[in-house]
Structure formats: C-alpha cells, structure tokens
Amino acid sequence: MKTVHKIDIYTSSLCGFCYKAKSLLKRKNILFNEINIDIDHEKKKEMINRSKGKTSVPQIFFGNYHLGGCDDLYELEQKNGLEILNK
C-alpha cells in the first residue's frame, strides 16, 4: 500500500512561482493540499506563523517541516530529494 505524504502549499492566484511549484509537484505525481491565501486571510497569518515570518508565496511544507519556496523545491528536485515524497 502506498503511503500518502502530506504537502501543504500556500499560494496566491496571480503568482507565477506558485504555478511553477504546483506544476513540478503534479509532474512528479506528488499529492498536495493547496491553501490560497487570497481567499482566506487567516490562512496568510497561519502561513507566516508556520514559516517563521516568511510572507512570500509559495511556502511549502512536508508535514511540519518547512521546505521553503519554489526555488527550494526545485533545488530539492535537482538533488533527487522529491523522490522520497512519491514513495
């Protein structure tokens, strides 16, 4: 049975980096929970709290671990670090 890993990605509607990060996760068949901070401003506060003060989007979490933003996600991909998220 395949284990489902929980990825939370905080996004904004007009964010190109958010689109790029979500596209990579989709290409790798990694399930994620998208939290749009445009819709729910309480979620923006939640994101800032979880990321220890980061206000830019996307902010990406694996469980309680803060992966970072889009560049951090692509850097992890270059190191084949996303493979573990899809097992």
pLDDT along the chain (87 residues), means of 10: 73 97 95 93 96 97 95 95 75
Q: What is the predicted pLDDT for the residue at 37?
A: 97
How far is CA 23 from each of CA 46, 48, 58, rounded to the nearest angstrom? 24, 23, 12
State the first-to-last Cα distance of the chain, in angstroms, to the nearest integer. Answer: 10
Phi and psi angles of residue 16, each rounded to the nearest 5 degrees, phi first: -65, -35
Three-state helix/strand/coil letters over 27-69: HCCCCCEEEECCCCHHHHHHHHHHCCCCCCCCEEEECCEEEEC
Amino acid 13: pLDDT? 94
Q: What is the pLDDT of residue 6?
A: 84
> Domain 7-86 adopts which CATH fold?
Glutaredoxin (3.40.30)
Q: Domains of the chain: which residue ranges?
A: 7-86
Task: Match 């003060």 to its residue by tokens.
Answer: 53
Q: Tell me the pTM.
A: 0.89
Please report the pLDDT score of residue 1 as a whole number. Answer: 45
